[in-house]
Amino acid sequence: MHRLATKSTLLSLLLVLFITGSASAATANVSMTENVFTPQVVTVKAGDSVTWTNNGTVAHTSTDDAPLSLWDSGSVAVGDSFTFTFTAGGTYPYHCTFHQDLGMIGTVSVKIFASPPSGPVGTQFTITVATVNAPLPFHYDIIKKDPRGTFKSLFSIRSTSFIFDSTGQPTGKYQFISRLRNADTMAKSGFSLARSITVTP
């Protein structure tokens, strides 16, 4: 018997199942057994889901680490499952409340998008960091790395994407990373994996 658990809070507007029937959405599966999440690190795209299934012999949880505390499955009985949809780019560590001290921890890494992947100077690139607008007090922090440069703070947005205008910009590879941040408490996720675009002559 399987169970689909969701949490009805303000945060559910941001990171709980939102896109129904999206052809591009996928689900990654994580097995919960004695003191282990397998795989321990899972990478998905913004809008994808992760399903944790208890294949062990005792109850477990999937609980987002503080300070954001975005999801908590509660006790997942043997044979049951819990599904959560990640709509914002970032890195989200989590744990089993019952067995964290025994090393039962994991990480969900949520990738962002860039379109087109390359184009000549003057191209308008769309950088998509989430699949839903961030409800207050949440924001998406964006950091950009210029060609031959270092990552520098760019800005924060609440919309799902922004335009990088390459007009007058140097050619080469640019990289973008993003994270989710609570502007009231300053709690934040880790940064996403870098997404690259290339500006050509």
Could you tell me if 118 and 191 lie in one domain? yes
Cβ atoms of 102 and 185 within 8 Å: the answer is: no
Overall number of domains in the chain: 2
74 and 96 share one domain: yes
Token output for 138: 């949440």
- Can you tell me the mean pLDDT for 71-89? 97
Judge if 119 and 189 occupy the same domain.
yes
The answer to whether residue 1 sits within a structural domain is no
User: Which of 90, 111, 132 corresponds to the end of one domain?
Assistant: 111
Residue 6 maps to a domain: no
For 32, the token pair is: 């919960």
User: Taking all residues of the chain, what is their mean pLDDT, rounded to a whole number?
Assistant: 89
In a domain, 167, yes or no: yes
Residues 149 and 72 in one domain: no
SS3 100: helix
Say whether pLDDT at 18 is over 50: no
Residue 8 has pLDDT above 80, yes or no: no
**Per-residue pLDDT tens digits for 28-38:** 999 999 999 99
Q: Give the mean pLDDT of 91-105.
A: 97
Query: Which tokens belong to 140?
Result: 């998406």
Alpha helices for 60-123 (secondary structure H): none
Angstrom distance (rounded) from CA 29 to CA 183: 31
CATH number for the domain harbouring residue 181: 2.60.40.10
Chain position carrying tokens 């399987």: 2
HSE, CB side, 13 Å, CA atoms: give it for residue 172. Answer: 9
Same-domain pairing of 130 and 104 = no
150-200 tens-digit pLDDT = 898 789 999 999 999 999 999 999 999 999 999 999 999 999 999 999 999
Amino acid in position 111: K
Distance (Å, rounded) from C-alpha 14 to C-alpha 58?
31
Judged against a pLDDT cut of 60, whether residue 10 lies above it is answered with no
- Of 43, 78, 111, which residue is a domain's last? 111
- Which of these three, 60, 90, 111, is where a domain ends? 111
Q: Which amino acid is at 96?
A: C
pLDDT of amino acid 1: 38
Whether 65 and 141 map to the same domain: the answer is: no
| pLDDT of 128 higher than 60 | yes
Q: How far apart are CA 164 and CA 114, in angstroms?
A: 10
Domain membership of residue 5 (yes or no) is: no
Domain that includes residue 155, residue range: 113-200
Residues 77 and 162 in one domain: no
CA 32/CA 193 separation, integer angstroms = 25
Q: Are residues 86 and 16 in the same domain?
A: yes
